[in-house]
Every structure is written in structure tokens, then in C-alpha cells.
Structure 1
Amino acid sequence: MLATTRADLLRLRRWPTLWVLVGVWTALQVTFSFVFPYLAYRSDDPATAFGGGGTAEDLLAGMLPPAVPSVLVGGTPMFGGAIVLILGALAAGSGYGWGTWKTAFTQGPSRGAVVVGTVAAVFAVVAGIVVWTLCLDLALSGVVALSASESLVLPGFGETARAVGGAALVLGMWAAAGIFLGTVTRAPAVSVGLGLVWTFVVENLLRGAANLLDGLSAVTDRLPGAAAGSVAGALGAPADGPDATPGVLTVLGGLPAALLCGAYLVAFLVATVVLVRRRDLS
């Protein structure tokens, strides 16, 4: 398992797709968490700039270092989740598409070791993305504080640790979902398409239908996106109002949402390993 993990880490590290995805996530985080709010804050009418609605003080407070934990976790349910889902789907689907998994299954270690190595490598990348995002948010919030002549007050350690754990849990769940889809379809493009359709379309449509059909909310409130959004909402990401973050919800409490995310993560990984071990290679 250690050998396959090192091999997959090498593959991912030298894979241009990984750095493109990290670059896209970085651009999204910088643009929507700092650039647009800062431009609105500096505008003549912050309440209406960029379709906002908050005061200049509210906009500034959302960019200062104490707000970093909520900024970190706020983008993970939808946009960050989509990025790592793509990563997981491509990492697993390309193993079939390039024939590398077939070769490893027949000549190398056991199937379980190969899959676990890929999963560990993807999760290591996810952990790196979380740490990178935290450092980026802290640096940008510090720049905003200095430009606004505000004092540099770092967020509390406990609050930051909870946000890091919540972000890692949400992104890990979506990465596991991507690995499962890539394994099911054995085709990178199809698995990415299915994952994005579910993330951006299906769950939103089901939540809309739950407003019309009694009892459907009991199902929609326990889907992966709702669990991920509720984790972010419980950790302080805004779910309502003009500064609401897409994908953030409050339909579940923090602990039930975290447990449900963990259950989905484990279920996706177990299903992946079982499917790989029992399915024919062709």
C-alpha cells in the first residue's frame, strides 16, 4: 500500500490536471471571497454593488482574519466539492482509461492495495488543498486588514481547527464520491459529467421539489450535498441573507451533518473497494 501510495502521489504531482484544478479553486476562492467583496466595499454604494445588500462594515468584517474559518469552509460544499470530485473521478477513471490499473491488478500488488493507494494519494492532495486554502485566506485577509487600517487579530485556534476539520471532511466526502464514480463508469469524462450534474443540478432540483411535495424533504435533507452544506453552515458560513454562500445550508445540526458526511465517505470507499475486487477487469 505504501508503494502504491507513493506511486500515485508521484503520478498526481506530475499530472497537469491536478495543478489546473488547484488553480481554478484558488481563482474561485480569491475572486468570490475577497476580490468582489473588496471592490464592493470600496464602491460608492456597497449595498447594491455586485448584487450585494450588506453594509460596508459587514463586507469588511467578512474579509478580516477573524472571518477566515467561515471563509475557508464556506466554499467547500459546492465549488470546492466539485473540484475534488473531478479530481477523484479522473484519478480513478484514468486508471482504467490508461490501462494502468489493469496492469497493476494482473502483475503488481492486490487490487485492494492499488485502490487504497489511490485513495490515500487523493486524500493527501485534499489535505494539501485545505492547508493551502487556509494559508491563502489568512494572507489575503491580512492584506485587507492592513489596507483598511484594521488591527491584525488572528482567528481563534479552536475555531480554525474546527473549520479545517470540517473542510477536510466535506472535501474528503466529495473526493470519495468522485473515486466511486470513476470506478463505476471506468471512464473519466462520464464520471466527471455525472458528478457535476448531481452536484449542481439534481440535488437543487430535488430540494425545489421538496417545497411542493410533503415528506420529500426527509430525503433531500440527508443527501450528500445537504450534509456538506449543513456542516459548513454549522461552522459559521452564511446560509441566508445577502452574503449567503452557494451550497451552504442549515437543514441539519452540526453533529448529525458531520456524522452523515463521514458515513457517506466510508460508504463510497467501501463500495469502491468491493466493486474493484469483484468486477472483471475487461
Structure 2
Amino acid sequence: MSAGYLGAVRSEFTKVRTTRLWWVLLVIMAAYVGLCAGGMAGILGGLGGGANGPVIPDAQLPLLVYSFATSVGYVFPVLFGALAVTSEFRFQSLTPTFLANPRRGVVLGGKATTLLIVGALFGVVALIASIGLGASLLAAFGIDPLLGDPETWAFIGRSVLAMALWSAIGVGLGVLVPSQVAAIVIVLAFTQFVEPLLRLAASFTDWSAQVAQFLPGAASDSLVGASIYTAMSGASAGLDWWQGGLVLVAYAAIATLIGFLTSWRRDVS
């Protein structure tokens, strides 16, 4: 690795540490994910012993509860990744950055690397929240939380990877759409409304369901290997985990490349 690249990474970590945004989003995400996972564990764990039998088999329930870390928590790293870039355009902090390191590709590479690591941190915290509350409540209802199962740990690793890639997608979006307001609207509108509606509409026919596999949220669910969305909607398993990961990488790479060739190379004043 070149000294310029390592310097860019150190600079980006300094920018992250000296702002409050990262830990504010981290705290909100942990509370939100923990509440969702704990609530679902309590509801489905309580129904497990009912006269009508479990809504979801006990063997599948733990990973579905833990998957709230990614199925609802992914919006936070993608939002942070976008804001980490658009704030540079908004406050024109790119000007001194480019003066210190005129190799803009190196600067962008350092930012993408840094946000990948921060996204992984978001994934770790989200999993602590979902597993911490979810496993405790499942155990209270007599359901094995499967914390000693190798598949659970493989799921945890894939979840951290998914959150890191979502942060990289956020970076790509921020480079592609430098307007901070527009980036926030796009992230919230697409993740909370547009894609869920598209996935629901696509589930009615086989050909549209095949296309919907390549939507970013669906690809993320495939990478992780469990999702409360697919469990409740009855959607197909979708792509293999590695294929889902490649789709997320492609989204991040394409958005970043187009943004680099357009907005990132313009004069900043």
C-alpha cells in the first residue's frame, strides 16, 4: 500500500472520529434493532408453545430474530456512508483535502476503505443488539438460541460483511448524488418504501421474482441467509450468499465509479 493511500485512510478516520454523527446513528440503530428483535422474539417465542403450534419452527426462529440487524438496520450504514461524502461537498471540506492530497482517486479509495470498516462496526453493534435481546428472550421461552451452532457464527460473519457493503453503497451514492438533502431522501424513500413495494409486487409472478432477486435489499438478504421479510412474505430463497454479496459489491462499485467520473472530478469551491 502506498503512503498516500494510508495517509488518506488515516485522514478519513480522523474525520469520522471528530464528528458526532457516527455514534448518534450507532446508538439509534442499536435501540431500533434491539427493540425489533426483542419484540419479535417475545411474540414468536410466546406463540411457539400455543395450541396451534409455532408460527415459525424453533430451529429457524433464532436466525430470523437475529436478522433484524441487517433487515432493518442496514439503512443506518448506508445513510452514514452517504452523509460522510455529501457533507464534504456541503461544507466544502474537500478543498483542503484535495490540496493536501491532489490524487482524487486515492482520496476516494481511502474514504471507501474507511467507511467499509465503519460499516462493519455498525454490523457488530447491530448484531450485539439483536442477539443480546433476541437470544435472551428466546431462551426464556425455552427455545435454543443456537449460539453454539457454527451456522449461527457463519450468519454473523455474513451479516457484518453485508453491513460493511451497505456502507460502501452509501459512499457510492454520496459521490453520485452530492446533494445531502437529495441523498437522504433517496436513501429513506428507496429503503423504506420503494424497494419493499417492488419486492412485494414482484412476488406475484415468477419472472418478476427472478428480477427482484437483484434488488439491493433482496441481495443483502441472500448474502445474510435469513430475513424476516422473506419469512413473512413467503418469498423464494433468492441468490446464493456469495452471489448476493457480488450484487452488493456491483452496486457500490458502479455508483462510485460513475460518481468519480462526474461529480468527484469537478472543481470544488
Task: Flag whether TM exceeds 0.5 (same fold).
Answer: yes
2:249 to 247, 262, 280: 262
1:255 and 1:104, CA in 2 relative to 1: closer, same or farther beyond 3 A? closer
CA shift, 1:27, in A, is 1.0
Q: Deviations over 1:56-87 (max 9, x none)?
A: 9968984xxxx2x544434414x222111110
CA distance in 2 between partners of 1:149 and 1:230 (Å): 29
Q: Deviations over 1:118-157 (max 9, x none)?
A: 2222111111122233344444356436655778863323
Structure 1 spans left out of the alignment, 5+ residues = 48-52
1:76 and 2:63 equivalent?
A: no
State how many pairs are aligned: 263
Provide the residue aligned with 2:21 in structure 1.
17
1:41 and 1:203, CA in 2 relative to 1: closer, same or farther beyond 3 A? closer
1:113 and 1:156, CA in 2 relative to 1: closer, same or farther beyond 3 A? same
CA distance in 2 between partners of 1:174 and 1:96 (Å): 21
More displaced stretch, 128-137 vs 189-198: 128-137
Answer yes or no: is the 8 Å Cα contact 2:16–2:22 preserved in 1.
Answer: yes
1:73 and 1:38, CA in 2 relative to 1: closer, same or farther beyond 3 A? closer
1:182 to 174, 179, 186: 174
CA shift, 1:23, in A, is 1.2
Q: Deviations over 1:201-244 (max 9, x none)?
A: 22233334446788544433322122112333xx2334555xx3
Answer yes or no: is the 8 Å Cα contact 1:221–1:251 preserved in 2.
Answer: yes
Q: How does 1:54-203 map to 2 (within 5 A)?
A: 55=54, 62=61, 67=62, 69-77=63-71, 79-141=72-134, 143-144=136-137, 147=140, 154-157=147-150, 159-203=151-195
RMSD between superposed Cα atoms in Å: 3.6
1:236 and 1:190, CA in 2 relative to 1: closer, same or farther beyond 3 A? closer
CA shift, 1:184, in A, is 2.3
Answer yes or no: is the 8 Å Cα contact 2:90–2:179 preserved in 1.
Answer: yes
Provide the residue aligned with 1:251 in structure 2.
238
1:38 and 2:25 equivalent?
A: no
1:264 and 1:3, CA in 2 relative to 1: closer, same or farther beyond 3 A? same
Using structure 1 for the length normalisation, give the TM-score.
Answer: 0.75
CA shift, 1:171, in A, is 1.9
Provide the residue aligned with 2:219 in structure 1.
227
CA shift, 1:101, in A, is 1.0
Secondary structure at the aligned position of 1:80 is classed as coil
CA shift, 1:276, in A, is 5.2
1:92 and 1:70, CA in 2 relative to 1: closer, same or farther beyond 3 A? same
More displaced stretch, 116-125 vs 165-174: 165-174
Secondary structure at the aligned position of 1:222 is classed as coil
More displaced stretch, 137-146 vs 9-18: 137-146
CA distance in 1 between partners of 2:263 and 2:114 (Å): 17
Answer yes or no: is the 8 Å Cα contact 1:230–1:248 preserved in 2.
Answer: no
Secondary structure at the aligned position of 2:147 is classed as coil
More displaced stretch, 6-15 vs 187-196: 6-15
Q: Deviations over 1:165-216 (max 9, x none)?
A: 3213322332222212222222222101112212222223333444678854
CA shift, 1:94, in A, is 0.3
Answer yes or no: is the 8 Å Cα contact 1:130–1:167 preserved in 2.
Answer: yes
Using structure 2 for the length normalisation, give the TM-score.
Answer: 0.78
Letter in 2 for 1:172: A
Letter in 2 for 1:261: L
